[in-house]
Amino acid sequence: MGSKDKEVRLQQRALLEKQLDDRLAFVAAQGIKGKDAAKDSGLRMIRAKIRETDARLKTIEALEEKAEEMAARKAEKLAAPKVKKSKKKTQEEDTGPSKRQQKKQKKKETKPQ
């Protein structure tokens, strides 16, 4: 039962429910009813598998919802206009030489040969 496909899990759940009905009929045919029938190991095993399958189905549905939400966010992000950033750097370059160039110039001035 290692399938991650929702359709397969639904089929497995239907099969387990049929097995549960068959097992209940078998136990009833033996004359076991009520609390004694609930103690039957076959019934407990089938019910446990149904619970596992239900839990996995819930997880699969949660993953599908998350994928839909992410797709909606992505579409929303792509639809939104892009914000242009101001270019402050180009304005600063026009003011004079860079700090590195200033350091080089200062070093040349202090070191006469």
pLDDT digits (tens, 9 = 90+) for 40-49: 999 999 999 9
- What angle, 0 to 180 degrees and rounded to 10, lies between the N-to-C axes of helices 6-29 and 41-79? 160
Tell me if 86 is assigned to some domain. no
Task: Determine, yes or no, domain membership for 19.
Answer: yes
Mean pLDDT, to the nearest integer, of 10-16? 96
In a domain, 17, yes or no: yes
58-107 residue pLDDT tens: 999 999 999 999 999 999 998 888 878 777 665 555 577 788 888 888 88
Q: pTM for the full model?
A: 0.63
Domain count along the chain:
1
In a domain, 18, yes or no: yes
Domain that holds residue 10: 1-80
Is residue 44 assigned to a domain?
Answer: yes
In a domain, 105, yes or no: no
Per the domain annotation, does 71 fall within a domain? yes
In a domain, 102, yes or no: no
Q: Which two tokens stand for residue 60?
A: 């699969």
**In whole angstroms, how far apart are CA 22 and each of 12, 44, 61, 64?**
15, 13, 29, 33
